[in-house]
């Protein structure tokens, strides 16, 4: 009986220690999407964040973090009608995105620290479309991923730096895709993602 109580107590202690190291919450960002040779587009994302903290020393600690989020990305460019008047084409694409990073936290005090992390991301295209600010030019209502304009998968790298204050995490980041997203009917386009992010997250169990 004593042995069983010791084992149960040890199990609960392990769970408590793991829960202390693993933190989770919600996350969002505003993105300035600026593909090379295309105009700036403001995107966004919302989702969940998880973070596992390794043992802390006097200076700080390493950590592993990942997110699962819905991201809206896009770009703008200029097109011309038959009278050579300029109009704006705006493209919107929506992805299920999973960034995975390893980082380090530098302790400021017991309630705050500075963090920086870096790692790859993988994204799966859900749907997308484009519109033109001119009624007589065609606006495509078809999904860009199913009509042969966009590839389903995107891959690249991202890095972030910021500050943790109690349950909040605020930071800035940069994203660079290494895959040309377009194909077939849009093969001449190459709006490879390059974005700058403003991130904010809230952790439930800090």
pLDDT grade for 3, boundaries at 50, 70 and 90:
low
- Length of the chain as a residue count: 206
Q: What confidence tens digit (pLDDT) does each residue in 150-170 have?
A: 999 999 999 999 999 999 999
Q: What confidence tens digit (pLDDT) does each residue in 43-80 have?
A: 999 999 999 999 888 788 999 999 999 999 998 887 77
The rounded distance, in Å, linking the Cα atoms of 25 and 44 is: 18
Record the pTM. 0.83
pLDDT grade for 206, boundaries at 50, 70 and 90:
confident
Q: What distance, in Å, lies between the first and last C-alpha atoms of the chain?
A: 35
Please say whether the beta carbons of 47 and 66 come within 8 A.
no
Q: Is 126 helix (H, G, I), strand (E, B) or coil?
A: strand
Domain ranges of the chain: 22-203
Does domain 22-203 fall under CATH 2.40.160.20? My reply is yes
Residues 175-191 have a mean pLDDT of 88
* Closest C-alpha among 63, 89, 67 to residue 78: 89
């Amino acid at each position: 009986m004593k042995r069983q109580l010791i084992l149960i107590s040890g199990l609960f202690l392990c769970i408590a220690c793991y829960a202390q190291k693993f933190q989770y919450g919600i996350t969002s960002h505003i993105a300035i999407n600026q593909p090379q040779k295309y105009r700036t587009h403001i995107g966004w994302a919302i989702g969940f964040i998880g973070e596992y903290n390794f043992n802390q020393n006097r200076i700080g600690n390493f950590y592993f973090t990942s997110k699962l989020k819905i991201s809206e990305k896009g770009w703008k460019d200029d097109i011309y009608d038959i009278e050579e008047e300029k109009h704006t084409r705006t493209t919107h694409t929506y992805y299920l995105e999973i960034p995975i990073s390893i980082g380090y936290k530098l302790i400021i005090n017991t309630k705050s620290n500075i963090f920086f992390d870096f790692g790859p991301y993988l994204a799966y295209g859900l749907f997308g479309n484009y519109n033109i600010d001119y009624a007589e030019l065609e606006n495509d209502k078809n999904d860009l991923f199913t009509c042969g304009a966009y590839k389903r998968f995107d891959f690249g790298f991202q890095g972030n730096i910021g500050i943790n204050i109690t349950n909040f995490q605020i930071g800035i980041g940069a994203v660079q895709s290494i895959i040309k997203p377009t194909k077939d009917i849009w093969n001449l386009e190459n709006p490879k993602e390059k974005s700058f992010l403003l991130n904010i997250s809230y952790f439930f169990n800090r």
